[in-house]
Amino acid sequence: MPFAAATAPAAGPLQPWLWIALGAAALLLPSWWEAAQGLWRHDEFAHAPLVLAIAAWLFWRQREALAQLPDATRGAGGWWLLACGLASFTLGRSLGISSVEFAAQVVLVAATVWLMKGAQGLRLAWFPVFYLLFMVPLPGTLVDAVTEPLKHTVSMVVVDVLHALGYPIGRSGVMITVGPYELLVADACSGLNSMLSLAALGALFIHLKGSGGRLHAALLVASIVPIAFAANIVRVIALVLITYHFGDAAGQGFLHGAAGIVLMLAALAAFFALDALLSRMGARRR
């Protein structure tokens, strides 16, 4: 129905996309509603609704440019991609595999753009499609494989720094002992969540800024992991010090959540500062 409407002579340039939006809502809203009741309430996936909203806004910004492109011939490639997306979505949703379910949604969006506006439209809308990937939950096996080394590294660095400052601190694996208190470096303290969030914000910033050259963008992308990791180290150190000086209740209460906000603000400040430094260096070179 949406594709038939797209070829109707009386249809306006935006009318086919309205039909597509209605069809997508009927297919995807139940999935999003279910995620909002469960998956998206976890800290590691709380950014997904924001990513979805930003991607929708990015598509809206390009609506006129997409509408001005000629209609695609709709070759077999687009239909095969659409079929693969629908099959993967059905499989992921029926089996409860969130990573497959949400990855399939990205494929469906790409297939729809390809069918409506061809490869040219897909090149034009590549970033909104790519940005939706930040909404896809990572597979549990991959998360476990990345999280464990990160937790051990965070624990080691925190203990070494505070021991050098004279605090009575030690560790056993990811269990940190400071004074009479024991703190477990949990998965949320590994820094993986902050890396993903900073990557999403950093990618959006680089795209919207749209200047500075490829080297500038590559250096900013490469800085995301070390900036997020360093900010997370500072966060864990702060929580350990709060617990040591003010007790376990203070370390696990309001200040624990506030430390996460401060972590992201500090990481963003460092990211923007690096961007300003690179821009200044580029201006001097020119």
92-133: per-residue pLDDT in tens?
Answer: 999 989 999 999 999 999 998 888 888 888 999 999 999 999
SS3 169: strand
Query: What does pLDDT average to over the chain?
Result: 83
- d(CA 92, CA 88) in angstroms, rounded, equals 6
What domain range is 231 assigned to? Answer: 140-285
214 vs 103, more confident: 103
Range from 18-22, 56-60, 220-224, 229-233 carrying the lowest mean pLDDT: 18-22
Please check the confidence at residue 272 and state whether its pLDDT lies above 50. Answer: yes
Catalytic-residue membership of 189: yes
Side-chain half-sphere exposure of 245, counting CA atoms within 13 A: 8
pTM for the model = 0.80
CA distance 226 to 271: 10
Tokens of 215: 């080297």
Residue bearing the bigger pLDDT, 72 or 174:
174
On whether both 76 and 188 belong to a single domain, the answer is no
Catalytic residue among 123, 235, 280, 284: 235
Residues whose CB is less than 8 angstroms from the CB of residue 162 and which lie 6 or more positions away in sequence, other chains included: 169, 178, 237, 240, 241
Give 249 or 265, the one with higher predicted confidence: 265
Kindly list the strands in the beta sheet with 169-172, ordered across the sheet, starting from the edge strand earlier in the chain.
169-172, 175-178, 181-184
Report the half-sphere exposure of 14 (CA within 13 A, side-chain side).
7
Three-state SS for 100? helix
* Same domain, yes or no: 234 and 107: no
- Check whether 143 has a pLDDT greater than 90: no
Identified catalytic residue from 41, 61, 74, 189: 189
**Active site (annotated) includes residue 235:** yes
User: Which range is least confidently modeled, 108-117, 173-182, 207-216?
Assistant: 207-216
Residues 176 and 118 in one domain: no
* 63 and 173 fall within a common domain: no
pLDDT of residue 7: 42
Q: Which of 135, 155, 175 is the last residue of a domain?
A: 135
Mean pLDDT of 137-151: 84
Is the pLDDT at 6 greater than 70, yes or no?
no
Same domain, 254 and 171: yes
pLDDT at 102: 95
The verdict on 281 and 144 lying in the same domain is yes
Domain count across the chain: 2
Q: Residue 159 is encoded by which pair of tokens?
A: 């203990």
Asked which of 135, 168, 190 is the last residue of a domain, the reply is 135
DSSP string, 106-160: HHHHHHHHHHHHHHHHHHHTHHHHHHGGGGSPPPHHHHHHHHHHHHHHHHHHHHH
pLDDT recorded at residue 284: 75
